[in-house]
Structure formats: structure tokens, C-alpha cells
Amino acid sequence: MGMSTVHVKRAFKYRFYPTPEQAAELARTFGCVRKVYNLALAARTEAWTLRQERVNYNATSVMLTAWKKTEDLAYLNEVSSVPLQQALRHLQMAFTHFFAKRARYPRFKSRKKSRRSAEYTTSAFRFREGRLTLAKMAEPLDIVWSRPLPEDAQPSTVTVSQDAAGRWFVSLLVADPAVLPLAANQNAVGVDAGLEHLLTLSTGEKIANPRHERRDRERLAKLQRELSRKARGEGTNRAKARRRVARIHARITDRRRDHLHKLTTRLVRENQTIVIEDLAVRNMVKNRSLARAISDAAWSDFRGLLEYKAAWYGREVIAVDRWFPSSKLCSECGTVRDTMPLNLRIWTCGCGASHDRDVNAAKNLLAAGRAVSACGAGVRPQRESSRTGRSAVKQETHGATRGLPRLQTGKDVNDCSLTSRPRLRR
């Protein structure tokens, strides 16, 4: 039985170089998009605060028409209306996520700090023979086609953006028929994330941490000092200094993203099941001594890339509960150590088995993931009630050991009775 084609919506991002006229038009569009978003957010917030009234997308769309007719906001008519309508749809989606408790309350967009972008739908752009022309523009964008689009691809949306380093990008969302589920195999791997080694696999392989930020730290610090000496305001010199700092950050981000893409693609291609730990990265970066290293490791980005690629290619990603004591559990006999100091990287269990701390943790994650797959529930060991008000963090990133979750000594991680309080994985 052959594999069916999966029409995946996929974004292809390219860099482009606008003419001065195109750059000015896009800058106006970015400003109008930000203004409309903030006006709509203010209106929705006021309606709920004062009248307990929920304002939806349709109501804000009517407001937009009225705003355009006022003298103060007449400039909104100078740009394409489609990006403005899309800004209202994005705000509606932000509120949907907020009410579903998947995100925080929407925040106002800042002129200096928020992402500069605008989204165009099919009625606001023309794409023919590899030439993309946006509404209100006479000439197509000068795009660097660094990789080909799928054959006969027709974008459904086009997003234009400019990053803090001043680079311009265009992202085309197309249906990619070339994405096929990979042939199923029996391979499964546990992945333990760390700082000394970025990833440790249950096979014993350790993937080095490139530490991209550290490579440019000296140069970045110098440019940041220069920026701090510039007078605050809208001066040209300060803008140039800010852009130089942004270029360093962009280079770090690009290298980190490229490395994570290669790692996740390899893991998805080689393994049918990938087991990871459900880390609370947002809580972990509150540790000031490790925040920079944790951010540079980009564990959240790694998980995001891994999950969407697994969904594309028919693989399974299992997230084991962060309270699972993977480092302290002997993968041979199931005994749990009372303590595990951070400087103890190799240890010997009472059964005689000698363990590398990270490899042992990866093996335990794999075994726990198989238990999750077999039982259909998350691995959530019993923890002391006094810790219910405290956020969980990865044991390897701090020295606190008091009140760590415990399992009954001698229990096999493949035994379904391990889960004292089953919880579906996210």
C-alpha cells in the first residue's frame, strides 16, 4: 500500500532588496498595521473593562472603516487595506489563544521593539513566473530565490518583514505536495538536553553545544558599549550603533537556527519515536547565572522544530513529565538515588552498573516514553505536596535537591503502575 501525498502548508522565506520607493511604501504599511492593531486592542480592552462586552473581528472591521473616514486617521487610506484587515485577524487569533489559556493577554505593539511586518492575501499581490508584485507597487520585488518553490506553487499569503538589522524578508505560504510521510521503522531514541552537551542520545552519542553566542560575545560587548555611549533619541549615530548590535544578534540567531534545523531533521529521518523532557524553559531562564547559556541552547526552539517536522513525516514525539527523575534513576535496576550532585557526572549504582549521568538520563527518558506510548498517559511521579506552588526546572541547571520527586525503589520504568497520577502528554 503506497504512501499518500500530504499537502502541507509550508512557508518559504527569502531575502529581498526593495527600491527606495518600495521601502517607503512598506514602512508606511508597517506603521499603519501597528496603528490599527493598537487601536483595535484598545477598543476591545475598553469595551470589556467598562461594559463587560466582547468585541469580535467583525466589530473591529466596522471600526476600521469608520477610522479611515476621520481626519486624524485618513492616512490609513494611503496603504493597501488587506494588511490592515489581516492585523485585525491576528488580534482576533491572539484573543482566541488568550481565552483558551494558551497565551497571555495581547500587548500593544511598540514602534521600536515590535516586529515590523505586514501580511498580504491573494487579492493584494500578483505572483507570475517567479515575480512577486505587492499592492500599491508598480514593480516586482527583487527577491533572492535561494531555494526553489514547489512546482506550480501559488502562494495563499505573503508576509513581508524587516528585522532589527535592517534586512528585508518575504515569506510565501504555499501547499507543498513534496512532503511525504517517511517509511516507518522501529527506531526509538531518548534525548536529554543539556548545556555541556547540547543533546545526549540514549544510544550514547553526545552532540556538542556550539555556544554560538559565546563566539561573538566579545564583539557584541564592544558594540553594546558603543551604543550605550550614544545620546538617547532619534539620532542617526545611535540608530547606526543599534543596527550594528542587531547584526551581531542576527548572525548568532541564524547560525543557531541552522544548526537546530540540521539536528532535528536528522533525528526525524532516523527515528520513528523521539522522547524528550518537558522542560519549563521560561522558569529556568530566571536563574541569572545560567540564563544566558540556557537561552543560547534554545531548547524551546529545538522542541518546536522537532514537533512540526515529526507531524510532517509521520513520526511521534513524546514529552515526558519534567518531574521524572531521569538522572537519579538507574536504567538497569530502577533504583532511585536520594541525591545527585551536579558535579557527579559518572556514578555507580548499588547493582554494580556504572552510568554516565546524561546517557543514563536519556535511556530513562526512552523507557518512560515507551511506557507513555503503551499506557496512553504521561509519566508523572508522585511529588511532595509542599512543592505544589513552586515551578519545576531541570535538575541539571540548579543545585536544589530538597523535595525532588521520588519513585518507589525497584520499580521498572516500563511498568504502567509507575504513573501515580496519569496525565495526557501535551
Active site positions, annotated:
192, 277, 358
Q: At what angle do helices 236-270 and 217-229 cross, to 10 degrees?
A: 150
Q: What residues are paired with 318 via a beta bridge?
A: 275
204 CB neighbour count, 10 Å cutoff: 11
- Closest among 135, 134, 61 to 92, alpha carbons compared: 61
Instruction: Label each residue of the chain as H, E or C.
Output: CCCCCCCEEEEEEEEECCCHHHHHHHHHHHHHHHHHHHHHHHHHHHHHHHHCCCCCHHHHHHHHHHHHCCCCCHHHHHCCHHHHHHHHHHHHHHHHHHHCCCCCCCCCCCCCCCCEEEEEEHHHEEEECCEEEECCCCCCCCEECCCCCCCCCCCCEEEEEECCCCCEEEEEEEEECCCCCCCCCCCEEEEEECCCEEEEECCCCEEECCCHHHHCHHHHHHHHHHHHHCCCCCCHHHHHHHHHHHHHHHHHHHHHHHHHHHHHHHHHHHCCEEEEECCCHHHHCCCCCCHHHHHHHCHHHHHHHHHHHHHHHCCEEEEECCCCCCCCECCCCCCECCCCCCCCCEEECCCCCEEEHHHHHHHHHHHHHHHHHHHCCECCCCCCHHHCCCCCCCHHHCCCCCCCCCCCCCCCCCCHHHCCCCECCC
Find, among 84, 73, 149, the residue nearest to 118 by Cα.
Answer: 84
- Give exposure, 296-325, as e/b (b: 16+ Cβ within 10 Å): bbbbebbbebbbebbebbebebbbbbbbbb
